[in-house]
A and B are shown apart, each in its own frame.
Chain A
Amino acid sequence: MTLDASRGADAPPELVQLLTPEGERIEHPDYDIDLTPEEIRSLYRDLVLVRRIDLEAVALQRQGELGIWASLLGQEAAQIGSGRALTDSDMAFPTYREHGVAWCRDVDPVKLLGLFRGVNHGGWDPKEHNFHLYTIVIGSQTLHAVGYAMGIQRDDASAATIVYFGDGATSQGDVNESFIWASVFNAPIVFFCQNNQWAISEPLEKQTRIPLYRRASGFGFPGIRVDGNDVLACLAVTRKALEAARTGQGPTLIEAFTYRMGAHTTTDDPTRYRVASELEAWKLKDPIERVKSYLFRTEQGDQAFFDAVSAEADQLGADLRRRCLAMPDPEPLAIFDHVYSEPHALIDQERAQFAAYLEGFEK
C-alpha cells in the first residue's frame, strides 16, 4: 500500500498561504502580515542572494573545492521567512542545510564553507550570531534548543529559540524527546520542520502516516502547516509562534511544506528514486518567482531593481568563490586545538610528540 502522507489520514490539511504560486496576495484570518514595499523587496533580495550562494557552493563542489555540499534549492522561502522572523535575542539551531537562516543571522557565507571544504567543523561563534553550529547527526540539535530555551526561562529573558529539522528527523528519538521536554517545561521554542518530502531517498510516507504538523497535538502544543515556498506566510506564521513562545505560551510546531529541488547532497543522485514530473510540478511553485511576479505586478519592483539584485548576486557568488579558494588549509597541529577547554595532559603529550615527528621531516 502506498499512503500519501502529505494528504493525511482524513481531512485535507490546512496550508497557510499568503502569496500564491502565481504571485497573488491572499488574506488569512489568523496570519496576516503588513509589509512595506521596501520590506518585500528586501525579502526578495534575500531569496535571490541565498540561492546564488547555494548555486556557487554546488559549483565549487563540482570543481573539487568543497568535499560535499547540502543544497537548499527550493527551501529559500522557508528559511528566509522564518529567519527574518527572529529578533536579535532569539537563538536559532540549524541542521546542515540552513544557509538561508545563516544569512539572516549575518554569518559570513564563506564561514559556512569551512565544514564542507574540510578546514574545520564549524567556523563561526554561535554566541556572536545567536546561530548555533551546523549539526549533522539528525535531530540532535532539537534537544540542545529545548535546553537553551529552558535557560531562557531561568534567565527570565524575553527571547525564544527556533530549531530547524527535516521530515526525516521527525522519526528520531531525540526529536520526540525534545517535543516532550518542550511541552512539560512549557519552553519558549518554535520547532520549524522543513518538510521537503525526501529524507535522502526515503519519501515522507516512510516517516509518517499523518501530516507532520498534527504530531504536535499529541505532545500538547499547537502545530501548523505553512506553505514553505511562500516567504510571506513563513514569516507571518513564525513571527506569531515566536511571539507566543516569548510570552510564555510555550512551543509551536511549524511544518513548512516545501520541496528539496536538488539532491540531498552533492553525493546523491535523486534520479534513482524520484520521478522528473514531481520536480516539474514543484518548479511551478518556486519561492522566488512568486515574489518577483507579485512585486512586478503591483509595481513595487521594476526591472532596474531586479537587475540590481541579480548583479549583486553575481558579485556575491564571485566573492564567495574567491574567498573559498583563498581559505588556508589548517596547520597539522590544529588537530589538537580546542579538544578541551582546559589544559589536558594527554593532548599536550600527543601534540608535542607529533610536532617532534613533523620536525624530523624538516631537518
Chain B
Amino acid sequence: MTVLSLSKALNEGMRKAMEDDPKVLIMGEDVGKLGGVFRVTDGLQKDFGEDRVIDTPLAESGIIGTAIGLALRGYRPVCEIQFDGFVFPAADQIITQLAKMPMRSLGAIKLPVVVRIPCGGGIGAVEHHSESPEAYFTHTAGLRVVACSNPADAYTMIQQAIRTDDPVVFFEPKRRYWEKADLDTSSTDWWAPLHAARVVRPGTDVTLLAYGPMVKTCLEAATAAEDDGRSLEVVDLRSLNPLDEAVVMESARRTGRVVVVHEAPVNNGFGAELAARITEQCFYHLESPVLRVGGFSTPYPPSKLEEHYLPDLDRVLDAVDRTFGF
C-alpha cells in the first residue's frame, strides 16, 4: 500500500499510462518544468522528455485544437486546462470539433483526448479560478464527462480515461488535491469501471447524490445526520456522462428521498437532469420531490463570500430536513 494525495495519485496514474503506451502525451500550460500550477504533472517531463510532456503556448483553443491533430495522427493527448474558468477559449474546439468529429467521420476517426480540468472553489482564489462548468460539457453529445472525488478514483479513473477511445472531460476537485489515502497500486482487482457510480456510504432514509468535491461534504453530512438518527446514503456518481442510472435509481427507490448536491449553480445545473430522470423513473417510490443544493444563480462570488455560496454540511442537512416536510 502507498499513501498518495489526490494530486499525486493523478500524477502516478498518468505516469503509469505513459509507461504503458508511448503514444500518451501530456500537454498544457506550465505542465513541464513547473509540473503544473498544482504540481499534478510534477516530474513527468523530466522522465519522459519535452516531446511527450509539452509546455504549450498560452492559448487554450490551441491546446485542444492541436491535441485533436495529434490524436488524428495516433497519439493520446492528455490536456491540462489550468483552471476551470479558463476552459472557455477552448470551448469551441471541444464542442464543435472534439465532440463531433468521430460522428462526422462515420466512425473512421477516434479521438482519445482527455481534457483535465481542476474545478470548484474553496481555496480562496481570485475570479475565474473556482468554477464548476460541468453542465456545459454534459450537455454536449460526443463527450464523456467524469469527476473523481478521492485519491483512489483519481489514480484509476485517469488511467481509464486515457485508455478510452472517446474524448473525456475529466474534472478534478482542486480543493481535495491534498487529501490522502492508502492505495494498492500493484493490482487492478479493486478497480471499478470508469462509468460506474458507487455507494460510498450506505443508508436507508435519504439518498445524497454528489460528485467531485461535494462527495466529502456529503459524507460529513451523513456522519452528522447519524447523530440525529437519520441514515443517509451517499452515492458518488463518478461519471456524469454516461450516468450510471442503475445505481442512482436503485438507491432512490430504496430511500424514497433524494438530495442532489453540487457546487455549480442549481439553475439548469446537472442536478436538474438527475431530478428529472429520477422523477421519470422512480415517481411512485418517491416520498418527496428531488431537492437540489448548489451554487446560486450568480457569478462565483469573491472568495470572502465563497463559504456562503458553496454547499456545506448545514445546507445539505437543511435540504435533508426539507425532504421530510412533504
Contacts and interface: CB of A to CB of B under 8 A. Distances in A.
B61 A174 contact: yes
B134 to A, nearest CB: 16
A207 B244 CA distance: 49
A337 interface: yes
A178 B180 CA distance: 40
Q: State the majority secondary structure of interface residues on A.
A: helix
Interface in A130-174: 132-133, 135, 137, 140, 142-155, 173-174
B302 interface: no
A154 B51 CA distance: 7
A143 B242 contact: no
Contact of B75 (A126, A151, A173, A337): A151
B160 to A, nearest CB: 11
B104 A133 contact: yes
Contacts of B141: 339
Contacts of B245: 345
A166 to B, nearest CB: 18
B106 A177 contact: no
B72 A181 contact: no
Interface in A289-342: 337-342
Nearest to A187: B66
For chain A, the bracket of interface size reads: 35 or more
Given A147-B69, A346-B241, A338 B61 contact: no
Interface string B144-170: 100000000000000000001110000
A342 B143 CA distance: 11
Nearest to A182: B66
Nearest to A140: B97
A126 B102 contact: no
B70 A121 contact: no
Given A137-B92, A137-B96, A346-B242, A148 B57 contact: no
A126 B242 contact: no
A339 B98 CA distance: 11
Nearest to A151: B73
A340 B102 contact: yes
A178 B89 CA distance: 14
B103 interface: yes
Interface stretch (B32-40, B107-115, B249-257, B286-294): B107-115
Contact of A121 (B64, B75, B103): B103
A145 B56 CA distance: 16
Interface in B23-75: 51, 56-57, 59, 61-62, 64-75
B323 interface: no
Interface residues of B, number: 47
Interface in B87-125: 89, 92-93, 96-97, 100-111
Interface in A167-214: 173-174, 177-178, 180-181, 184
Contacts of A342: 164-166
Most buried by B among A147, A151, A337, A342: A147
A125 interface: yes
A347 B243 CA distance: 11
Contacts of A149: 69
B147 to A, nearest CB: 17
A346 B243 contact: yes
Given A137-B96, A341-B166, A150 B106 contact: no
A165 to B, nearest CB: 13
Interface string A70-91: 0000000000000000000000
Contacts of A152: 73
Contacts of A140: 65, 92-93, 96-97
B65 A174 contact: yes
Interface of B: 51, 56-57, 59, 61-62, 64-75, 89, 92-93, 96-97, 100-111, 141-142, 144, 164-166, 195, 241-245
9 contacts: A144-B69, A144-B72, A174-B93, A178-B62, A180-B62, A181-B66, A339-B103, A340-B102, A342-B166
Counting from the closest, the 3 A-B pairs by CB-CB distance are A147-B69, A143-B65, A151-B73
